[in-house]
Structure 1
Amino acid sequence: MSKDPNVLGRLYDKIATWWNDRHLDSNYGVTQFNHALNFVPPEGNALDIGCGAGGRFINILNKRNYQVTGLDVSSKMIALAKKNHPEHSFHQQNICTWIPDKQYDFIYAWDSLFHLPLDQHQPVLNRLCDCLSESGVMMFTLGDAEGEHEDQWHNASFYYSSIGINRTLEVLLAKGLKIKHVDIDQYPEKHVVIIAQKITN
């Protein structure tokens, strides 16, 4: 199994156009995304991790006057995102080594963190919690069982991993976040959505 983000980026390069056509205006994850927005301020800064070509989520944030920073390991996805949303900032980056230079009111990672190497989940989550603004909200998806595996998709092998629901919640709680929502939203698929908010004293 290849955990190399450069390999992952090249795999997504191959399907970037397909992804863009399929998800630019789709409703996939929109219900959960809108639920997370119930907890965020009416405007602010958002961080989109594994932003792909942008599309549906960023279109929603545009209506709320959010400024979006998007990160993705695929150069072709980033090129499409810049074309689709020239008003926002997009960067080809590996979230495991990326260092934030500001805080964000809303951080979301839809179907992206499950590509992290297993030993990087906790460090990445800790870093994301640290760059949340006061009362900032984080929404992300994960697999419900701890471990790592490889699946075939688009005639290629993609690496997936998770530290599981319980360990993930422990990390968030230890960083002072309040859990707002946990849902296995595609049952019987093992697809989990978590929404958490930073607690201020």
Structure 2
Amino acid sequence: MPLTTTALAYDGIAERWLDKHFDPSNGLAQHERALRFLGAEGEGWALNVGCGCNTRFNSLMRAHHLHIEGIDVSRRMIELAREADPTLSLHHADVCAWQPPRTYRFITAWDSIWHVALKDQRPLMLKLMHALDAGGVFLFTAGGLDAESEHVDAYMGPELNYSTLGIPGLLKVIDDAGCICRHLEFDQYPQKHLTVIVQRL
């Protein structure tokens, strides 16, 4: 399923992340844990991949002296994010084709890159991890399966592609990128929602 389809799907449901039914604490504890691995060094940049329109992680990143850059394939998500936080540097683009303009102390991809086609997962993850500063941290979520997998699901309403390299594949690409896995957790068990924290050596 092409990312243009993903973009149109999220254009249609963007406001869902701003309504009263969305849990505003979703992902906060995981981001707090990941950001602690940065220590107390100086300023730097953070990249939010699939940033969406809900800006709940921004204050956490700014507390660690991070300037925030966001990228999303959905035009409506970008519009709403800009309205919520006009100071953000935002890109409306496909992250698979986009080239990072700098390196980052922190990269987050919360519930986003699993929409990328399986064939593009490994190249994307290598690109993102190579964009980390030395000591930089990458937080992402993935399907916590034992092997690579790809399927289409309409859980959110519109049909969306989901793919994962599987836990062994994720650990392999982390190692190949010259990074180390600092934390791996089934944070919504028994659901197969996997949170991974990676640090560049």
Residue of structure 1 equivalent to 2:19? 21
Moved more, 62-71 or 19-28: 19-28
Task: Provide Cα deviations, 1:103-150, integer angstroms capped at 9, x if missing partner.
Answer: 000001000011010001110011111110111110100001221111
The whole-number CA distance in structure 1 between the counterparts of 2:79 and 2:21 is 16
Give the deviation of 1:20 after TM superposition: 2.4
Moved more, 56-65 or 74-83: 56-65
The whole-number CA distance in structure 2 between the counterparts of 1:136 and 1:155 is 35
Give the deviation of 1:23 after TM superposition: 8.4
Q: 5+ residue gaps in structure 1?
A: none
Counting matched residue pairs gives 197
TM-score by length of 2: 0.93
Residue of structure 1 equivalent to 2:38? 40
Residue of structure 1 equivalent to 2:118? 118
Residue of structure 1 equivalent to 2:4? 6
Q: 5+ residue gaps in structure 2?
A: none
Distance 1:163 1:25, change over 3 A: closer
SS of equivalent residue, structure 2 residue 101: coil
Residue of structure 2 equivalent to 1:106? 106
- Taking the TM superposition and a 5 Å limit, the aligned residue runs for 1:36-185 are 36-42=34-40, 43-145=43-145, 146-185=148-187
The whole-number CA distance in structure 2 between the counterparts of 1:35 and 1:163 is 23
Deviation >2 Å, runs of 4+? 20-25, 62-65
TM-score by length of 1: 0.93
Residue type of the alignment partner of 2:181: I
Identity of counterpart residues, as a percentage? 37
The whole-number CA distance in structure 1 between the counterparts of 2:22 and 2:55 is 4
- Which of 27, 31, 42 in structure 1 is aligned with 2:29? 31
